[in-house]
Every structure is written in C-alpha cells, then in structure tokens.
Amino acid sequence: MHPQIPSVGDGMHRMDAALVRCDDVARTYGSGPGAVVAVHGLDCDVPPGARIAVVGPSGSGKSTLLHLMAGLDRPTAGTVSHPGLDGADAGALARHIGVVFQGPSLLPPLTVAENVALPLRIDGVPDTEADERAQVALARLGLADLVRRLPDELSAGQAQRVAVARVLARGPRLVLADEPTGQLDRSTGRQVLAVLLGAARELGAAVVVTTHDPRIAGELDVRWYMADGRLIRPEAGDGGDDRTGHPTDQRASGGEKT
C-alpha cells in the first residue's frame, strides 16, 4: 500500500457499516401517463470490501441504481444512505465514492498524467502530491509508460484504464463502475476489469460493477440480478452461477456470496 494514497482506515467512519444502504428505494422518471418507474422497492447494502456485479437486461434499472448509490441522483421514494462513510454531504460522497463510466471521458488536451492528477488538484491536493499520486495510480494500472501520451494516442482499453486510475488515485472506499467494459472487446474488457479489481483490492475499496455480460459478472464475488427495476436476490445455494435466481423479500447484501 502506497502511503500517499488514502486507504480504508483513514477518517472517522464506522469500519463495518455499509458504505451504501438502500431502503425501499424507488426512482421514477417523469410524471403522469408517461412516467417510467426505473427502480422500485429496492433494499440493499454494500459492505466494506464487497465485490458485487449488478446484472440485468438493458433498461432493467442498473445505471439508475448505480447513480442513486453514488449520490448523482436522488430517489423519488425511500432512502439512500452511506452509514459507513464520513458525513453525507456531496463533498464527502465525492471523496469516498469513485464512479467509472462506460466511456473514459478523458480531457483531450491533457496528458494521461495530467488527466489523472486533475481531480486531485481540484480536491485541493498540492501539485507535487497530486502528481505523485497520479503516477502511483497509473503504475498500479500498468500504465507507467504512457503518462506523457494524449488521450487520442491511446487504445480504447488503455483509455479506460486511465479512467480507472483517475478514480482510484483519489483513494475511494467504494468504486461504482457502470458498464466499464461496455465499449471494449471481450478480451480487453476482461483485462480492464482485472486491473480494476486488483487495484481496488490493494486499496481495500468495495466495487460494484453493472454489466450485461455473465462472464464479467463471474469475476465478482457476489451477483445481484435486476429485472424491471427490481433487485432479485438469488436464493442461498444458488452457487453464484449465471442463473437469474428467484425473487425473495430479503435485503440484498454484498456481504453474502451468491
């Protein structure tokens, strides 16, 4: 563990409390006859260190759930809380929760190193420390040789690894990744996921990944299935395979392996 990247154990949070807790959460887009209920009746916990895949067909509500967990969106009913993180304000959530999107969204005029250091500088980290932390994160993702490249000079897989490094450099306790391999071929996608999971483990960060791909889901410890905006928890003994499981009224917890 590099001393310059904050790790689990920093701060005053309760070490065993859920990083995210959803209680009877719903999110409806719009109103009236055209309203879309994207998620509903959703109860779940993400404990520290959990590695969870959220699997489901297109439109089942995976991204909506992830955005709600990240605090990027608010539920229209129910509560999303972060009992295991310091404070509940937007600044605390941004510090502790890193979000990886499907596309890397790197800033074209900045080098790889500058892209990774930028959020740290915005956080108020002194320039030298921000640069060092960026270098460490990039090395952890196997990108040490590419630090001076511009985003246009990277392959899709390399660019997505830079996006992962940018998130991990801030030392999040929870990484929420929304189809992080969705724009990559299968082999590159698996490589990106492997480095993401390895680096998150080194940091002690929990990971939640949405995916359509059962093979990607198979790389995580726990699988949650979504259908029509509902979270479906496989029954105990499902063995963590790729079946869709059966609805139950139990709270989904990333602490229980499926």
Ligand X SMILES: Nc1ncnc2c1ncn2[C@@H]1O[C@H](COP(=O)(O)OP(=O)(O)OP(=O)(O)O)[C@@H](O)[C@H]1O
Binding site for ligand X (CB under 6 A): 29-30, 36, 38, 56, 58-64
Complex with ligand X: residue 29 or 153, whichever CB lies closer: 29
Tell me the CA end-to-end span of the chain in Å, nearest whole number.
29
**CA-to-CA distance for 213 and 126, rounded, in angstroms?**
40
63: Cα within 13 Å, side-chain hemisphere: 11
Cα 193 to chain center, whole Å? 11
Cβ–Cβ < 8 Å for 26, 42: yes
Cβ–Cβ < 8 Å for 181, 189: yes
Considering just the CA atoms, what is the radius of gyration of the chain in Å? 18
Complex with ligand X: residue 59 or 218, whichever CB lies closer: 59
**CA-to-CA distance for 32 and 86, rounded, in angstroms?**
38
Q: How far is the CB of 53 from ligand X (least distance, A)?
A: 13
Complex with ligand X: residue 73 or 202, whichever CB lies closer: 73
Complex with ligand X: residue 60 or 181, whichever CB lies closer: 60
Q: How far is the CB of 68 from ligand X (least distance, A)?
A: 9
Complex with ligand X: residue 60 or 111, whichever CB lies closer: 60
Cβ–Cβ < 8 Å for 198, 222: no
Tokens of 142: 């196997």
Complex with ligand X: residue 61 or 245, whichever CB lies closer: 61
**CA-to-CA distance for 199 and 221, rounded, in angstroms?**
16
Query: What is the DSSP secondary structure assignment for residue 237, as one 8-state letter?
Result: T
Complex with ligand X: residue 114 or 179, whichever CB lies closer: 179
Q: How far is the CB of 30 from ligand X (least distance, A)?
A: 6
Q: How far is the CB of 43 from ligand X (least distance, A)?
A: 17
Helix (H) or strand (E) holding 210: strand 206-211
Alpha-helical (H) ranges within 20-76 are 62-70
N residues, the chain: 258
Q: How far is the CB of 173 from ligand X (least distance, A)?
A: 23
Q: How far is the CB of 74 from ligand X (least distance, A)?
A: 13
Q: How far is the CB of 58 from ligand X (least distance, A)?
A: 3
